[in-house]
Amino acid sequence: MMRKFLFFLHQTFIIALENRIRFFLTLVGVFIAVFVFCTGKIITDSYYQSQMRIIDSYYDHVVQIESDWDYDKTARFLGFGNNSNGMTCTFLNNPKTVLSEQLEDGYYVNVMADIAGLSYGVYRYRPTKNAGIGIIPVESTLVKGRFFDVSDYSSGKKVAIITKLIEDTVFDGDAIGKIIYFSEGEDGTSVSYLNEENTTASLVTSFEVIGVVSDSVQDVNERNRVLKILDKEEKKSISILSSVYIPDSVMNSFSMDEKDKLFFFQLSQADYSGYCSSLDKILENHTELNGVVTFNYFEKSKASVEASLSDLRVVLYLVTIILLIISSLSIMGIMLFAVKERIPEIGIRKAFGAYGIDVTFQLTLEMVFIGFIGAMVASVLSGIVCKQLEPFLINTLFSGFMVVVSPEHILLAVLIGVSEAFVCSLIPCVYASRIKVTDAMRFE
């Protein structure tokens, strides 16, 4: 049995490569379908994993509420008691420029910041804006300086806490005690500089940096994106987006800017599980709250990312199925033509004692061999193409996108290619196995 298998395997290599046109056309048929599927699969999976790295940084047991009511009314209605650590956060709708510096050849470095006003009290977590996900609370680790204290709120001091990313890019790693300027209104959102004299904005507000917090996942993504641009020495303008935090008592400094107010409540682990499951019921029982109160938490953010990719995956699978059907019909036609060419050979083999199953096995093995080669080439090439497209995808999707090619992608591509080749060979192989010796001898 083993000798027969090795004989078939040897013959497969020889015969499959003997007719180069047939080999090439069959290979292309398998390659196109597998390449499209594998490329789409790698991109969608990489996008999902990149988004999930941000979602996984969601601070434990925090519920985010957007409400038209004030903090106290929202907390009372939704049942947040004294066992929850609450925070009010007011975000400016549009980011502000921290630094805009012209480089050679007319290119610019623009450092932008989402401005968030925080209420006094809870600084274990901080809200961040994230592309494609929205606002989520992340761990707030103080790197240097201090957090806001009571005097900052009572006296209305204009102080700020910045991220490590902004400190490194704008202040060369030494920001404590330095002053940053922000312009008010949309007129100056792109013209603010580090010193008041150089700005063309009509209204400018200065803030003293008193603290630096560690970078969020989004900040790390921004840093890595910029480093890749610098490593490749690309001549292009660079934009960096991070966050700056100020006391909410001085948010009136931006009276001309539109704002969104959010509430954050951190619950105990025991309360969190039960409360999140009851939020939907609360809003279902109070239809008058539609558009008045919205909420978000870790599980809901994760489900939202998965839902956003579901349509894309459906499109990918439909395109792959259509291509598989088209290429399968093409491969089947090529295989039938090849069988017609080899009728005399099949007749001679049967005359020397070969059974129909032997003919079927050999022809099927040939197609599986070609399908395997086509799938391997398609999976490797799709990984290379995705890696080459990574800079474009980073700029198109979001800065945290990173192409990840896993063994699962290779195995799935090979399985699809081999399965397609096997299925396409069934009808031609069955036809070949039923050819009679007498008919084969008369065939011209």
pLDDT tens figures, 335-365:
787 777 777 777 777 777 777 787 777 778 8
285 occurs within a structural domain = no
Mean predicted confidence (pLDDT) in 213-240 = 83
Q: Which of 31-35, 65-69, 194-198, 261-265 has the lowest mean pLDDT?
A: 194-198
Q: Of 209, 239, 266, which residue constitutes the final position of a domain?
A: 266
Cβ contacts of residue 232 below 8 Å, gap of 6+?
A: 391
pLDDT band at 207 (very low <50, low <70, confident <90, very high): very high
Dump pLDDT digits (tens) for 287-296: 767 777 888 8
Structural domain contains residue 14: yes
- Same-domain pairing of 335 and 260: no
Q: Which of 268-272, 307-311, 374-378 has the highest mean pLDDT?
A: 374-378
Does 111 lie in the same domain as 47? no
Q: Same domain, yes or no, for 382 and 328?
A: yes
Let me know whether 192 and 239 are in one domain. Answer: yes
User: Which residue is associated with the tokens 């069955």?
Assistant: 430
Domain contains 203: yes
320 and 434 in a single domain? The answer is yes
40 has a pLDDT exceeding 60: yes
CA 34 to chain centre: 21
The better pLDDT of the pair 264, 190 is held by: 264
Residue 60 covered by a domain: no
**How confident is the model at residue 245, as a pLDDT?**
95
User: Highest mean pLDDT: which of 25-34, 90-99, 360-369?
Assistant: 90-99
Looking at the structure of the chain, the number of domains it has is 2
pLDDT band at 17 (very low <50, low <70, confident <90, very high): low
Q: Which of 155-159, 320-324, 398-402 has the lowest mean pLDDT?
A: 398-402
* pLDDT surpasses 70 at 442: no
pLDDT above 90: residue 211: yes
- Residue 381 is predicted with a pLDDT of 93
At 203 the pLDDT is 58
| Residue where one domain finishes, among candidates 266, 294, 326 | 266
Closest CA to 333 of 400, 230, 208, 427: 427
Asked whether residue 89 is assigned to any structural domain, the reply reads yes
> Are 129 and 241 in a shared domain?
yes
Q: Is the pLDDT of residue 212 over 70?
A: yes
62 in a structural domain: no
Q: Are residues 48 and 90 in the same domain?
A: no
More confident residue, 347 or 19: 347
Q: For 144-148, which contacts have Cβ atoms below 8 Å and span 24 or more sequence positions?
A: 144/176, 144/211, 144/212, 145/176, 145/209, 145/210, 145/211, 145/212, 146/210, 146/211, 147/123, 147/211, 148/118, 148/120, 148/123, 148/210, 148/247
Tell whether the model's pLDDT for residue 141 goes beyond 50. yes
What proportion of the chain, given as a percentage, has pLDDT over 70? 86
Are both 110 and 242 inside the same structural domain? yes
In a domain, 166, yes or no: yes
The identity of residue 366, as a single letter, is E
Mean pLDDT of the chain: 81
**Ramachandran region, residue 155 (left: φ > 0; alpha: ψ -120 to 50; beta: rest):** alpha
Same domain, yes or no: 195 and 327: no
| Residue 251 or 235, more confident | 251
Of 200, 233, 266, which residue is a domain's last? 266
In a domain, 63, yes or no: no
- Whether 261 and 132 map to the same domain: the answer is yes
Domain that holds residue 377: 2-52+308-442
Residues 30 and 124 in one domain: no
Confidence at 8, pLDDT banded by 50, 70, 90 = low
More confident residue, 179 or 365: 179
Q: Based on the fold, state whether residues 209 and 162 are members of the same structural domain.
A: yes
Q: How confident is the model at residue 192 (pLDDT cuts 50, 70, 90)?
A: very low
Least confident among 1-10, 117-126, 214-223 = 1-10
- For residue range 113-129, list pLDDT tens digits in order: 999 999 987 788 899 98
Mean pLDDT score, 416-426: 86
